[in-house]
Amino acid sequence: MNFASEASRRPGRGQRTDERIHGAIYAAIINHQLRPATPLQEDALAGAFGVSRTIIRKVLQRLAHEKLVVITPNKGARVARPTTEEGRQVFEARHIIESELVRKVARKRDDRGLDRLRGIVAEERKAQLADDKRRRVQLSGDFHQALAELADNAVLADVVQELVSRTSLIIALYEVPGAVPCSCDEHSEIIDALAAGDEAAAIERMDHHLRHIESQVDLSQSTGGVDFRSLFAQALPD
């Protein structure tokens, strides 16, 4: 899986057909236009894009590899529906990985790279003023993926890309009603620490930022199997 921002995945001229379709479906999932557990029928998608089911099947398999789609034999594909335990694991992984990521980037002090991050934050501010939540979600993901790219480690960038994408699904499922989205000021504070080469401050600000994101979702309830014995214990005869 090559590193790419969500924006670069959106369909555009000159892309291969399967890349264009992948970008369109990927963006629809990340932007919450396709909700978790939404069925993805091959026939319907083939008709919508004017291509064969073979191409659609290839795209869905790629999305399944990226953990955004689940394919079940004899049932077809659907948008992934992460459990609360998966949600907790995703956030734990992000804390561990992105803390080390900002440490690495702070040591580099890549001015051009930091300017790129500032450009994303500027777009975030515009989206915030316009109250465009979908655009803010997209740009927040772009920020973290662009930050990962500055580490010059393709494997690390791939991992962050997957975690950011899965976070979007988790938010779509478990967002607390009335949750206040993170301010783009938090991204600016991370950039300031990176520009100063202050590893400790960069780690602290990234950790604070991720905890703010995590506070927007309720992962307290289990989505595992039901214990019928406990559930119906009172209904059993003595």
Predicted confidence (pLDDT) per residue in 38-83, tens digit: 999 999 999 999 999 999 999 999 999 999 999 999 899 999 999 9
What pLDDT, on the 0 to 100 scale, is given for residue 13? 46
Cα–Cα distance, 64 to 78 (Å, whole number):
9
Residue 238 lies in a domain: no
Q: Give helix then strand counts, H and E, for the chain.
A: 11, 3
pLDDT in tens, 107-150: 998 999 999 999 999 999 999 999 888 888 889 999 999 999 99
Domain around 206: 84-215
Number of domains into which the chain is organized = 2
Residue 100 confidence (pLDDT) above 80: yes
Sheet holding 39-40, edge to edge: 39-40, 76-79, 69-72
Residue 231 lies in a domain: no
Residue 223 confidence (pLDDT) above 80: no
Residue 222 confidence (pLDDT) above 70: no
Statement to judge: residues 67 and 92 lie in one domain: no
- Beta-carbon contacts of 97 under 8 Å, excluding residues fewer than 6 positions away, are 156, 159, 160, 163
Statement to judge: residues 88 and 75 lie in one domain: no
Residue 232 lies in a domain: no
Least confident of 22-31, 207-216, 222-231: 222-231
Stretch 86-100: mean pLDDT: 96
Least confident of 14-18, 82-86, 121-125: 14-18
Statement to judge: residues 74 and 134 lie in one domain: no
What pLDDT, on the 0 to 100 scale, is given for residue 32? 87
What pLDDT, on the 0 to 100 scale, is given for residue 221? 65
Statement to judge: residues 100 and 165 lie in one domain: yes
In 3-state terms the chain splits into helix, strand, coil percentages (rounded to 5) of 65, 5, 30
Q: Return the CATH number at 139.
A: 1.20.120.530
- Tokens for 185, please give them: 């000021």
What pLDDT, on the 0 to 100 scale, is given for residue 181? 74
Residue 203 confidence (pLDDT) above 60: yes
Statement to judge: residues 66 and 114 lie in one domain: no
What pLDDT, on the 0 to 100 scale, is given for residue 182? 78
Stretch 96-106: mean pLDDT: 96
Residue 219 confidence (pLDDT) above 80: yes
Residue 233 lies in a domain: no
Statement to judge: residues 136 and 29 lie in one domain: no
Amino acid at the residue 145? Q
Model confidence at 208, in pLDDT bands (50, 70, 90)?
Answer: very high
**22-60 as b/e, with b when 16 or more CB fall inside 10 Å?**
bbbbbbebbbbebebeeebebeebbeebebeeebbebbb
Statement to judge: residues 69 and 176 lie in one domain: no
Statement to judge: residues 24 and 62 lie in one domain: yes
What pLDDT, on the 0 to 100 scale, is given for residue 1? 33
Q: How far is CA 11 from the centre of its chain?
A: 18
Model confidence at 227, in pLDDT bands (50, 70, 90)?
Answer: low
Residue 73 lies in a domain: yes
pLDDT in tens, 158-190: 999 999 999 999 998 999 887 777 788 999 999
